[in-house]
Amino acid sequence: SQKIEQNSEALNIQEGKTATLTCNYTNYSPAYLQWYRQDPGRGPVFLLLIRENEKEKRKERLKVTFDTTLKQSLFHITASQPADSATYLCALRSGGGGADGLTFGKGTHLIIQP
Partner 1 sequence: GAVVSQHPSWVICKSGTSVKIECRSLDFQATTMFWYRQFPKQSLMLMATSNEGSKATYEQGVEKDKFLINHASLTLSTLTVTSAHPEDSSFYICSAAPGQGRETQYFGPGTRLLVL
Tell me how far, at minimum, the Cβ of 17 lies from partner 1, in Å.
26
Length of the chain: 114
Q: Residue 73: how many CB atoms within 10 A of its CB?
A: 26
Q: Is residue 8 classed as helix, strand or coil in its secondary structure?
A: coil
Rounded CA gap, 76 and 90, in Å?
A: 13
Tell me how far, at minimum, the Cβ of 84 lies from partner 1, in Å.
19
Closer to partner 1 at the Cβ: 63 or 93?
A: 93
Closer to partner 1 at the Cβ: 18 or 94?
A: 94
Residues of this chain that interact with partner 1 (CB under 8 A) are: 9, 32, 34, 36, 41-46, 49, 89, 93, 97-107
Q: Which of 74, 44, 71, 45 is nearest to 57 (CA)?
A: 74
Closer to partner 1 at the Cβ: 28 or 104?
A: 104
